[in-house]
A and B are shown apart, each in its own frame.
Chain A
């Protein structure tokens, strides 16, 4: 009797270890990422001054939140097998300018000056229209890269034309301050909205009918078509979600700076490289399959925090923008190569 129970317990223990191992095996890139994450975190603690402070932690999360929200939107597009948008920063730019124009001049109507609700709704409407139009073209069977490259040029041109390529600023005590610089329970509002967006998106993807359709169309477009789920409507919906996320980030950023310009999100404006590539990097580094159908919001969020952490570490170590861009580029290439190596012959490839 005693022997059998012992062996049973042993069996249970082994199966437990096996479970963890198999979990890691199934998610190779994710686990590699987590390992590097932990190693770099430890390295950061011991090598960098002022790394392990609550203030710095807040900075990291805040940075991560800005492109994390955009990346959450992009994850929908990527999961549905439509690669990615190259017009992320331009969508954000035109939304940013629209919000600032709304706050400073009220779109030409005297009574709307500084009206947060109207500015926000007009901005979200612009994001919606941008997403629907691009999604429509992609849904007709065009390549998303080419379509969004064209869309990017048009939106940047419109944003620069609208703002005369100048900084549009509005006065500091405004209605949107709670979104830009306010904080709640010690964390900035933008971080809370990142968490909220992530939870909502994860629930949407994992628990609803719509989310499962996204996975289906990404994993097997032919099967999706055969069961009546065409990419046409899916492209429009996912592109709209992505553009709305960009619009939200733009509003938060404009509220934080209380001004807006067409090139706020491009390479000339500090940060490591431009926003579009950084967001795509976030999605890729997290380990989502770019061919679609495989990945989750959790991975994207971890990717966002990871990139923000490494960027922060490089800044604290006094590196210039060159090495920082090299660092982000290396991360993208590394994750693509590792993912391709481990996914060789599996469904993550064509």
Chain B
């Protein structure tokens, strides 16, 4: 059957309630703030939202990839903090490009190693990453010598936040580029499909010959890369980095991933969902700035968003189960009817 473009999009939404809920939430949050505060729907604020998207979008993307693979990476905040500390510390002596290269490759390597151990030892990622959360935090404290590391040369932060094309800056352009690349990778390459396979149905795909190590290692390396890049952007933008900082990223990134429609069981969700989810969280965070809220209130409302999404997912799962049970019951009923008729016929004859 041939479907035209609009029908295709429509089908996409109908078949994917989580993604439609994500769009609904994003539009709801945006329109609430746009209607209640005058400043919200303006060009400058869109630029500010995209600036925040450069950080949070990456974390949301990293967690989305991990959750698609059926695991969750709790060490993401520590990984980003470590990368931020390294980059900020090295920018002065060796220049920003090399510092970024070193920092991001260390983060990617950390993610890769985690993926290897998870696949090799068959431990759950939740367990191992709780350990590395603490370990990486300690290492970044040691690297930063328990102090706040600072840049002295502020040309790099200035360059990163220059405005281009009305809404974008070099950082957010890079992040959008990464999003497109990862999206193509996850959707159209064999390695990307393998990540979906081991997340959605691990035993079945292992039986079908999908290796366990490669997709897990790729997923965690990608997540480490994204975390490192986010840490770099944060560190270079503000010019400072702390060993203990960036722990709030885990909550924000998880909320972004879950709003974007991933399921903790794995195999669901995608890059578009991650983008929409992190934009939703950004709308919320930016909108709350207008109410002059303290940090813990932002955290509170982000958690409320997470709870809303959890309730939606639970309800839809229970509803799905109810419907499947109902359809099974109708099948059983019809079959028993046929059998009864056969029995009657036998008795008559």
Contacts and interface: CB of A to CB of B under 8 A. Distances in A.
Nearest to B318: A140
Interface in B301-320: 301-304, 306-307, 310, 313-314, 317-318
A226 B133 CA distance: 37
A290 interface: yes
B250 A149 contact: yes
Nearest to A325: B138
B164 interface: no
Contacts of B130: 84, 277, 280-281, 284, 332
Contact of A150 (B127, B141, B303): B303
A161 interface: yes
Interface in A326-340: 326-330, 332-333, 336-337, 340
Contact of A137 (B127, B304, B314): B314
Contacts of A280: 130
B213 to A, nearest CB: 15
B296 A161 contact: yes
A146 interface: yes
A154 B134 contact: no
A310 to B, nearest CB: 13
B142 A332 contact: no
B244 A153 contact: no
Contacts of A281: 130-131, 134
B296 A340 contact: no
A257 interface: no
Nearest to B310: A142
Contacts of B310: 137, 142, 146-147, 150
Interface string B252-265: 00110010000010
B302 A153 contact: yes
B297 interface: yes
B296 A154 contact: no
Interface in B123-148: 123-124, 126-128, 130-139, 141-142, 144-146
Interface stretch (A1-9, A107-115, A228-236, A315-323): A315-323
B258 A146 contact: yes
A253 interface: no
A171 interface: no
- Which of A158, A273, A326 gathers most chain B CB within 10 Å? A326
Contacts of B244: 267-268
Contacts of A158: 300
A239 interface: no
B122 A349 contact: yes
A291 B126 CA distance: 11
Interface in B216-251: 243-244, 247, 250-251
Given A150-B303, A154-B303, A321 B141 contact: yes
Interface in B91-128: 117, 121-124, 126-128
A198 interface: no
B336 interface: no
Interface in B67-110: 72, 74
A143 B306 contact: no
Contact of B135 (A153, A333, A341): A333
A83 interface: yes
Nearest to A333: B131
Contact of A161 (B135, B297, B302, B303): B297
Contacts of B327: none
A165 B139 contact: no
B119 to A, nearest CB: 11
B189 interface: no
A333 B254 contact: no
A329 B303 contact: no
Contacts of A332: 130-131, 134-135
B94 to A, nearest CB: 23
A259 B122 CA distance: 45
A344 interface: yes
Nearest to B118: A340
Contacts of A290: 124, 126-127
B128 A336 contact: yes
A329 B122 contact: no
A322 B142 contact: yes
B293 to A, nearest CB: 10
A145 B126 contact: yes
B297 A157 contact: yes
A299 interface: no
9 contacts: A147-B310, A267-B247, A268-B244, A325-B141, A332-B130, A332-B134, A332-B135, A333-B128, A350-B122
Given A146-B264, A146-B306, A156-B299, 13 more contacts: A141-B317, A142-B264, A145-B74, A150-B307, A153-B306, A154-B303, A157-B299, A284-B127, A322-B139, A322-B243, A326-B138, A329-B139, A349-B122
Interface of A: 83-84, 137, 140-143, 145-147, 149-154, 156-158, 160-161, 165, 262, 267-268, 273, 277, 280-281, 284, 290-291, 320-330, 332-333, 336-337, 340-341, 344, 349-350
